[in-house]
Amino acid sequence: MPALPQAPCRRRGVAISRSSGNHPPVPANHSPPRNGGHPHPIRTLSVALIVTLSHGCGTDGNDTHPRHPPADATTRARFLQEARIAIDGQADEPHWTRAEPVRDFRFPWKTEPAPRTEFRALCDADHLYFAFLIEDADIVVLDHFSDEADAVLEDRAEIYLSLDDRMARYFCLEIDSRGRAFDYSASHYRKFDPGWKLEGLVTAAQTHEDGYTVEGRIPLNSLEALGFPRLRPGTKILWGIYRAEFSHDRTGNAAPAPTTIHNLGRATHGPPPIENWISWVDPKTPEPDFHVPSSLGWLMVVE
């Protein structure tokens, strides 16, 4: 996958999967999934968390933003009869060179240029594959999770898939630099269910000298079970691709993180991270928010 210069990995990537029928095995040098595909115990989440969990960004549980329709932006997933892709966080298989790169990522709420992000997608008869190559000079990552929603405190790549243009029901995947996935379902506006999991999702990541690479695979059967059409050439669905771009606060300020919709009041070791938000389109909201229809565009499968 030609993109940012690659250097020897500083950390071994870990593939994380959830069982969903037959699919190619995860390479043997990766850690096996635990607790339904997560490397850390998952605590029971309260009903209040299910209703109010908000990350990414935004205002409150009531959408006060002007309503804008999805953008015309389109990501094209090249269809192959059989994609030979190992989900190891490398994204270096020859088949990735046949995917059309998306590089027009930006800071919608800042004037400065965003660090580079490259996204690619492929599709075959059984799976949708995706890869983010992310430039990041200061990766924010936690060594230990209390539960997978701790991802709200980290750098991560994000994909949202929506069944309609009002986001009446949509599904979110947020994957950190170690390949850990926080997946949840949602309905507009910001009504989240973190207990939902995407059956058969496999993710992995690798860090490198310039940042990190995230790679994943979604079974088409799982998408169909959610109500999406079978992905094949000519099919398109609503989706969005994004980044949470965090950096460390090195001012020495030891103040605890205030409780916000961004961090759910979760404690950090040291100062809370500095948060920025990168999107493939401009959602046209006054404050950062990906959970609005105007952050969406299209995924189209092409020959």
Query: For residue 281, is pLDDT > 90?
Result: yes
Say if CB 249 and CB 265 are below 8 A apart: no
Q: What is the mean pLDDT of the segment spanning 120-147?
A: 96
Q: What is the mean pLDDT of the segment spanning 271-283?
A: 91
CA angle 11, 94, 14 (to 5 degrees): 25
- Sketch the domain layout of the chain as residue ranges: 16-302
Query: For residue 148, is pLDDT > 50?
Result: yes
The pTM assigned to this predicted structure is 0.81
Query: For residue 164, is pLDDT > 90?
Result: yes
Q: Which residue has better confidence, 53 or 202?
A: 202
Whole-angstrom Cα distance, residue 216 to residue 202? 5
pLDDT of residue 6: 40
Q: Which residue has better confidence, 237 or 146?
A: 237
Query: For residue 33, is pLDDT > 80?
Result: no
Q: Which residue has better confidence, 232 or 20?
A: 232
Whole-angstrom Cα distance, residue 96 to residue 121? 8
Tell me the per-residue pLDDT of 65-118, one tens digit each, with 9 for 90 and over: 566 888 889 999 999 999 999 999 999 999 999 999 999 999 999 999 999 999
pLDDT band of residue 273 (cuts 50, 70, 90) is: confident
pLDDT band of residue 271 (cuts 50, 70, 90) is: confident
Averaged pLDDT score across all residues of the chain: 82
- Classify domain 16-302 at the CATH class level: mainly beta
Whole-angstrom Cα distance, residue 135 to residue 131? 13
pLDDT band of residue 14 (cuts 50, 70, 90) is: low
pLDDT of residue 290: 95
Burial of 42 by CB count in 10 Å (0-12 exposed, 13-18 middle, 19+ buried)? middle
Query: For residue 135, is pLDDT > 50?
Result: yes
Q: What is the mean pLDDT of the segment spanning 110-135?
A: 98
Share of the chain above pLDDT 90, in %: 64
Say if CB 136 and CB 249 are below 8 A apart: no
All residues at 6 or more sequence positions from 142 whose CB lies less than 8 Å from its CB, including other chains = 150, 153, 154
**Which of the residue ranges 31-45, 85-99, 103-117, 274-288 would you say has the lowest mean pLDDT?**
31-45
pLDDT band of residue 258 (cuts 50, 70, 90) is: low
pLDDT band of residue 136 (cuts 50, 70, 90) is: very high
Whole-angstrom Cα distance, residue 98 to residue 120? 9
